[in-house]
Chain A
Amino acid sequence: MTKKSKKWWTPEKGPVLPWRIGQVAQGVIMGVLLAFAAVGLAAMYGNVSAFQYQGF
């Protein structure tokens, strides 16, 4: 007899909806931060410090 596998969008135990809300909140926050971090890293890689130069 094989064990039925758990669906990846449901928790191991307990109420489903609060767990999904928690997961979505986690994904939203991390996703936005990741996008901003990626832009920041790309800016560092692209050496856009020339903009800060205020000479003559």
Chain B
Amino acid sequence: MTATSSKKQSRLVAALGNLWAGFTQPSLFALCTMAVMVIVTVIAVLVSVTPEKLSGPFGAYLVKTSNDAEGAATKNAYILVDPRKPVSTTPHLYVVGNSLIAQAIADGPKLDKALEADTGQSWDTYFLTTGSQGPLDEAALVDYATMHQPGVVVLPINFDRFDDDVQDIMKFYRMGRLGFRSDLADNQVKHILKQRPRRRTGIFIVDNRFFFLRNASIIGLRFLTQQPAEQKIDAFVFKPTPEKLVTYKRDIVGALRQNYQHPELATALLKDTVKTVEARGSKVVFFQVPISQTLLDNPADYKRFQLHMAKSEEFAKRLGSVYCKQPGDNVLPTRLFSDYYHIADPVWQEKLRKVLARCVAYAQRGKTAS
């Protein structure tokens, strides 16, 4: 009895000892297992990260942080083109554009309420806003948004949109910040900008390699720890230092003074995007985000801004779109902004949501005036 028990004990000790030795000793066997696992992990990631997966529940793990706009916009774009998504009778609103519009509107559910109050209908709102959104990312997002279900598309119309040259526009395109490729954007690169579109192979991680590199590890970790991140639309409130504010003012006022010197390129891109949207039965609302008084303390700059708005309104009318702005001169007190440009005041965000809701209702009824 004792001898058997002691034999069993020594076998257990030997087994545990060899288990530990196997776990810690480098060997050809461990190296081969490691190599196999690298391949298996890469294949698992390749199989996991697909448009179909990202538009499903797995997409919740895509967002890197609650402030990650590219991940959220990509996920929403995939949801909108998912063939499993039934065509709905609920009107759709697609808010596309940069941080200015995201920060001005600030809250999805509150925008839905404002829309319901104005139109008497409930709406499905999709935010496709990203920081520093270039016109080609905008075209790509609009392309995906309106591909399967027409709706009302909201686009921001800032003066800095009209001073970009080919290099500025291509710089953002080459960053590949979104995780999908769009025919509309690539055609604009080819036919309007006369540049070569990024190579397209049909393999997700090759075509979207920057997006993939940025998000692959975090998706894996979020999935393993089951920690999805929620999208925060108004994540653009900065508290810059006084020195930074001086730089911001110089850059923004510089863009205003440059405005409409060479608007042909931006205008051609925007026209093409709007034409595509309307051909699909969607309507466009151009939303003019108010700016801070401090930026326009020079009377000549104030006049330039008013001229920009007049030209934008005329441009929108020519395209048959709605031009939407706050009544008045659209210049607000500086205290409402975090940095002259991003609105951080909840009362004004609510006012702007109501203004936008009225414009969306107007577009839905097929009117074009502002």
Contacts and interface: CB of A to CB of B under 8 A. Distances in A.
Interface in A2-42: 8-9, 11, 14-28, 30-32, 34-36, 38-40, 42
B14 interface: yes
Given A39-B213, A54-B131, A27 B19 contact: no
A48 B213 contact: yes
Contacts of A31: 33-38, 40-41
B246 interface: no
A28 B33 contact: yes
A35 B132 contact: no
Contacts of B217: 36, 39-40, 43
B210 interface: yes
B31 to A, nearest CB: 7
A8 B146 CA distance: 59
Contact of A54 (B69, B211, B252): B69
Interface in B3-24: 11, 14-24
A33 to B, nearest CB: 9
B175 interface: yes
Interface residues of B, number: 54
Contacts, number: 137
B16 A23 contact: no
A1 interface: no
Contacts of A43: 213-214, 217
Contact of A50 (B20, B175, B235, B252): B175
Contacts of A9: 29
A11 B235 CA distance: 56
Interface residues of A, number: 37
A27 B219 CA distance: 22
B236 interface: yes
B38 A35 contact: yes
A30 B34 contact: yes
Nearest to A11: B18
A18 B27 contact: no
A2 B348 CA distance: 89
A18 B216 CA distance: 34
Contacts of A15: 11, 14-15, 18
Given A28-B33, A35-B42, A51-B70, A18 B16 contact: yes
A22 B23 CA distance: 4
Contact of B33 (A18, A23, A35, A50): A23
A39 B210 CA distance: 11
A22 B38 contact: no
Given A48-B213, A56-B341, A30 B37 contact: yes
Given A18-B19, A26-B33, A31-B40, A54 B236 contact: yes
A30 B41 CA distance: 11
Closest 6 pairs (CB-CB, A-B): A22-B22, A31-B37, A27-B33, A54-B131, A22-B23, A35-B41
Interface of A: 8-9, 11, 14-28, 30-32, 34-36, 38-40, 42-43, 46, 48, 50-51, 53-56
20 contacts: A8-B27, A11-B21, A14-B21, A15-B15, A15-B18, A19-B19, A22-B20, A23-B33, A27-B31, A31-B36, A31-B38, A31-B41, A35-B37, A35-B41, A39-B216, A43-B213, A46-B210, A54-B236, A56-B158, A56-B252
Given A35-B37, A35-B45, 20 more contacts: A9-B29, A18-B15, A22-B18, A22-B23, A25-B22, A26-B24, A26-B30, A27-B32, A27-B33, A28-B37, A31-B34, A31-B38, A38-B38, A40-B217, A43-B213, A46-B213, A48-B213, A50-B177, A51-B210, A54-B99
Interface of B: 11, 14-25, 27-38, 40-42, 45, 67-70, 98-100, 131-132, 158, 160, 175, 177, 209-211, 213-214, 216-217, 220, 235-236, 252, 341
